[in-house]
Amino acid sequence: MIQKKYWDPEIETMSSDALRKLQLSRLQEVVSRAYEKSNLYRQRFDTAGVKPTDINRLDDIKKLPLLEDAEFRATPLQDRLTVPISQIPVICSSGGTTGIPSPLPRTQRDWENNCIARQARARWTAGFRPGDIAQERTNYECTGAANKLIGVQRLTLCAGRGFLDNQIRLAQLLGVTIIVDVPSFALRYLDRARELGIDIKQTKIRAIWPGSETWVESYKKRLEARYGVTFLPGFYGASDTGGIEANECEYYNGYHIFADHVLFEIIDPETGDVLEDGQEGELVVTTLTLEALPLIRWRAGDITSILPYEPCPCGRTLPKMARVRGRIAQSALVKGKRIFPIDVEEVIFTTPGLGEEYQIIVDTPGEQDRLKVKAEYAPEVTSLKGMKGQVEEALTQALGVPTEVELVPGRSLEHAFFKAQRIITTYPKS
């Protein structure tokens, strides 16, 4: 069985000069292919007055136009593709978080060298090892092939026919060691196990590998203590870009970017200007190894930053990004400041007497004059007025905006499965 520190040591410990050389070569190749084979990119590059021969340095990527997600999805698929449809054996799709799911055709090389290979690298970095049994609670087909490469057995989503109680019991029967799930779904799994009389601490489940969402550290620590499990290093990615694009290592000090597969930029979301490392803004992604449906300067809509470079104790030399704070479309603008659910969570989850469900209320279009939060309180709270004032003061101090809090009894709010469900719009939409 494989026993090594890095999944792909040549790439993960590559020198910065060698990495930049590799990135430039791949950038020039994808830009040339896109211009020659895709009607969309040829028209966009011609309009911008740029040719593939103009890309001679990595910084020359700024000459290429930014690609809005809505424009990309609205373009007929045949005008986006850079290979004939006959060369497409696999078709994935986007998740549909921001609209109707979009088809994502993949060549065989896309499927093997991006979807599967990136998944395997991230899992190994997170701590998956031969002998583990992973319960896959997401429905990505590439995970099976990635587990096979590592030597990990898997219990599939269809095991138990999708019924949570059956999946929990099967996990105990088969000795599952890692649960792979969206964090909020994993919480429901752990809660339901407790309701069924199963003490997770007495099972072989040692860890949860979270995806699609991020939780504040204080909440993860609370859950780890409650259930005796560890949240493995997380990852960042999108189906549109070919899968996982970055992942944490065991030091939890940033996400190592898969810079051999993707080129990241951070821009000011209002002006489109490229920002320096350490400055927070909107992530822009260029895929370097996707054949069928490359993305060139695609605006991901996520807010993060590229961290100033410094050696990582794990020994990996790839650049790192900060944790994503949230999506622009899933935030509230208050007094000129953009507030994301994760900003509110740190106060909610560290305030004794509050539950684990909350909502950010947006009751008018555009900018709000104050942050409005609805949160559950625990049964032991006796002074709602005092609690309300305490939470409002904590949020105002932490976020720097006026805050109004409404407290409601526990279990009053619908369980939120994704960050987007934390933002509740109450005004009529045209």
CA distance 23 to 286: 10
Rounded mean pLDDT of 252-271? Answer: 97
**pTM value > 0.75:** yes
pLDDT in tens, 382-418: 999 999 999 999 999 999 999 999 999 998 998 776 6
How many other C-beta atoms are found inside a 10 Å radius of the C-beta of residue 177? 20
36, pLDDT greater than 70: yes
CA distance 45 to 63: 9
Question: Which stretch of 17-21, 139-143, 167-171, 211-215 has the lowest confidence by average pLDDT?
Answer: 211-215
pLDDT averaged over every residue in the chain? 93
Q: Is 10 exposed, middle or buried (0-12, 13-18, 19+ CB in 10 A)?
A: exposed
Alpha helix (H) residue ranges in 228-301: none
Strand partners, 423: 360
CA distance 78 to 38: 8
What is the pLDDT confidence band of residue 32, given thresholds at 50, 70 and 90?
A: very high
289, pLDDT greater than 80: yes
- Six-digit token string for 366: 């555009």
- The DSSP letter of residue 230 is E
- Max mean pLDDT range (182-186, 201-205, 411-415): 201-205
44, pLDDT greater than 90: yes
Q: Mind listing the domains of the chain with CATH numbers?
A: 9-113+236-328 (3.40.50.12780), 128-232 (3.40.50.980), 331-425 (3.30.300.30)
64, pLDDT greater than 60: yes
pLDDT in tens, 311-361: 999 999 999 999 999 999 899 999 999 999 999 998 998 899 998 889 999
419, pLDDT greater than 60: no
- pLDDT for 97 equals 60
1, pLDDT greater than 50: no
